[in-house]
Amino acid sequence: MRNPKLLLIGCFTIFTSSTLAAADIVSNGLAFNIINYDLQTAGVTYPDEVQQEQTDYSAENIVIPASFEFEGKIWNVIEIGDYAFSQCNSLESITLPPGLTKIGRYAFFKDDKLRDIVGGENIKSIGGYAFGYCSELDKVPFSDIISEIGDYAFAYCNGLADFKSGVNLKMLGIGAFYGCSGLKNVDLSDFRYEIGADCFSHCTSLANLSLNTVLSEIPEGCFENCVSLKSFDFPASLRLIGKRAFYGCSGLCELSISDTLSEIGDYAFCNCVNISSWENLAHNLIIGEGVFDNLSEIKKIYIAGMEDLPRYSFANCSGLETIELGAELARIDEYAFNGSENIKEIYSISTIPPVISINAFENSVEQDATLFVRKGTKIMYEQDAQWCRFKNIVETDTFPFTGLEIVDNEKEFSISDKKIVVPSDSGTVLKVYDLNGKLLRIISKESNDADLTLSSGFYIVTDRAKPHKVIIP
């Protein structure tokens, strides 16, 4: 017979004997509370210390009846209440009646011998911590019919190997499968709703993962330290990857992310030490602090579409050798490349040097690496309070990632009063782009009289597919 006392196990708090109220009914060796007198429904609960003598919660096998008689009436059992069988250390098998629809919070918490659950074909809801630490449980019960799985419902169920969500599941709580070290396969292809934070965190054997194609968010800590996860397809509709979502997933080798992604939270891919390449990060993104910290296998990165590189963004990337900074980049925060000591080449496309904080790069990089900048902009970098720390600044019109190569070949246009003018006898059509590659306007001889004044700055102009760098003073 269990002896309830206060237990603190990780982040879980278990009830004390002083919190146990007497059950309404004792019948068939179990304690019940009345749920609804008019409907004559009841739920299994825990007995108080006096009622323990009339019940047997220490049995290895327990059968919950579909109904029982009390005061001349038949009462139907529709739920297992909070803490009902918590810490029943001898319980190995339990049989549930067909009328049961709910399993309450902590209902089977830390029943470390529970393996077989029979029946329960109409269960709709599993409460928080309901099966936490049930280490012998080898499959998720009722997975094809339930609609709600509460917070930490199956935390540390190390015997679980597979989980496939049913079409009825609408809620997957915080940490629902936290620390399930034996969980290898997760199929959420039928799950269209929000996943709880830390849902599969520390599932160290998780190797196969399928997500619904309409999923828009991977929440905070969702797959943290899932070290066996090597790759999977990010949903095409994905917009947000939360903080620490893949922190410590050291098995991940590559990233292929949808261009719908708009934000990556702090340390989302930190310590994913084996990622050596990624696809489709060259679009507008907001990234948090330390997102790519300690990606030691990355050798080259192209940072495009980002306006700000926060602290520790690419810190401790010991294999990083080449960086290309996109024209949109406006700021590099302190320690962004802290510990990335092997950088040899930095290409900065922007004609205006990005604001750079002190200690953004290692001193050795500032001394030994080559900083490549656009022709005509070297003096701006040399006069900048921080970029001037780079000892090797070289002008270029060739950038390796973008393939951008600007040549000053013979132009079929002229510049007058901040206007680009096409000769009247020419059939040339010009296309004017900003340095982000955005088409600003199309110019022909018919448009010479139009108001085509350009503001001061740098532009790329093409005539007959030939590119030219143009400076409007």
**pLDDT tens, position by position, 149-165:** 999 999 999 999 999 99
Confidence label for 137 from pLDDT (cuts 50, 70 and 90): very high
pLDDT for residue 114 is more than 70: yes
- Residue 112: the pLDDT is 96
Give how far Cα 195 sits from Cα of 154, 216, 224, 249, Å. 15, 10, 14, 19
- Residue 74: the pLDDT is 97
- Residue 436: the pLDDT is 60
- Residue 92: the pLDDT is 97
Give the mean model confidence (pLDDT) for residues 291-315: 91
Confidence label for 6 from pLDDT (cuts 50, 70 and 90): very low
Give the mean model confidence (pLDDT) for residues 332-355: 94
Confidence label for 447 from pLDDT (cuts 50, 70 and 90): low
Q: What percent of the chain has pLDDT over 70?
A: 85
pLDDT for residue 406 is more than 60: no
Alpha carbon distance 57, 34 (integer Å): 19
Alpha carbon distance 264, 293 (integer Å): 13
Query: Which residues are CB-neighbours of 394 under 8 A, at least 6 positions away?
Result: 370, 371, 372, 373, 378
